[in-house]
A and B are shown apart, each in its own frame.
Chain A
């Protein structure tokens, strides 16, 4: 309120009072003199002037009382209507305006070639205004039409969770017949409409479920988080948001901007007028680096191979995962985790029984993305890195040889350890040691490190290749594994006696062959092999390729590949390791080689069998293709199997077969219903 205006008004009021008083006194003085009329007093002293004085005094008091009343009222009105009027105006506006929100369609999620992995499906929804509930006949007709009990229809119309002024959802996914009937009889269904809403739809079912994730109703924590954390989005109760995977990671891009319709309402909530309207703006489409074809092959292969192992080898093969990465850019070509699930069960709210199924240990936690969150012992796949460490710290050269008798007593007879080949490999060098995966070679290297000036040089090399740290992939809930060292062991086993907590030579030997307390994720191993393939440069793994413009052509964001770490090694060392890895594929065993001869690209790689006390081993294979000019690194592991060569390797072969369109003719095992949507394997 303008202060000078207030002064002017105050002055006008005072002037008006003065004028009125002047006229009043002027008139009354001249028009009459005091009368002596009225009834004669019954009490004595009718002419007593003291009584006149009393009256005059009391009436003056009354005059002051009246003035006081108006003074108080004016002062209060002044404060309310001039000083605080903006606050009251704000409250009056709040009183009468309501906002009706309309959800924006989420952006689609496409594979690298534009194939829709996640899209939206129009859902014909019958909606009714809040007042329909008072029309018994109309509610009865609606319930007959939608095939619902009368009380259920009534309850849905009364549900205010989408906002008091919003139309209430009566029935979703109604048939064309229902739509036509309502459209043809508007007089029977006042205030009932058919709206086209959009829901998440998965054309390929569970394809890439762990990458794309799922959606759900916004949680209380998300509602409370400020807009900085949510990327400028203010959530409202009932909003659908990403809860896992890419849906969660790129929520702010996919979400879009909800439409808002401001309305004027009366005190009963009835809409009186429509004011401003902002149309909903749908979220942007994401293009992933995933290749749907390869992804599909990887998922099918995990199902087939685990079936094969259960049927032919008698191992549980309870779970597994696979990752393929383009080592030149870090793009994830496929990322599969088994068992998997269908994200569509989350659409429209997941039922309790579905949720129990998905989170049950008996079903091996299908929601768990093993490729980035599963931490396993690396097994012999680590031996490539151990070899590079030995070369780097001078504990071995291309000429060094060791004698493997099958039983190694480098720390004395009491601490003897077996090679997996108990008959022994004989005299063996480093390259051959990789190829044959001879444990004794790495026991010797471990012993060498233990007594060297750099007792933790092995761990340094592992860490240089990214083990024990997050790769920073653009997916939630990544785990970082563990590279154990003396400090870790001392602090970890706090309850054990000091002797057991101290780092032993055997510990170094154990991690040199990928056993013991060493844990890695499949993605970490694949990235480490990218370092070998790329001569030391590892690109940051990512699943986002670009964000398409919400309107028009082109993309608004293109993912810029960046190296996460560099681990330069002498070419000579790398060549030796690569030669050893090539031997794994083409020399170690005919039963392995036979699968790779059908691929016209040269593959190098390493099998591994990670062991944990009291559990079935985990079978690994990490491969690089093509060997001469590496492009893809593919890794896979399957839990609870015999060994890596007969489990993970088949999956890697299938994935490379899908990349180059050259499937493995030898591994043709298919269960009768080897469809990936088979409910035995897709939870």
Chain B
């Protein structure tokens, strides 16, 4: 079903040759979204948790590719590093602490969560109706300071990437504050967990001998 829907744009793409680059990228986006949906349904259906962790890694890779296709390169970087790299490992270590298989849930208990998810999803879809079109030059995000950033970055900062210029220079103090917060959080975690646990191997050795 999903594949059949996704094949249709590809045949259109072969038919229209005026904008081959544009429509080919669009077909790739459709395919990525179809594979995302297929992965999500497979994750719901699967009971073996190791397989679910593997599929969540695939899901993160696919969504990162989709972010790149939508030009959100910085978000895609984060999704690839956190989603595909760290969170798969975190989920795996969570599985190591709990069970290997997911227990089946009673059918009566699934109705309320399903209803909540459907209501929230419908609300989100309703909210997207008011949003401006993708890449709309008159969208609120592009009219106020956005145009100023785009105009002034080449003279002010002389950095080719505008996102980098905004993050590192125009909002430099903001980024510095964020970095300090993240650094403090990491430092606090290390202090709470104990600095010796970084080299836990040595301590483990001492206990054994």
Our verdict on whether A and B bind, yes or no, reads no
B→A interface (CB under 8 Å): none
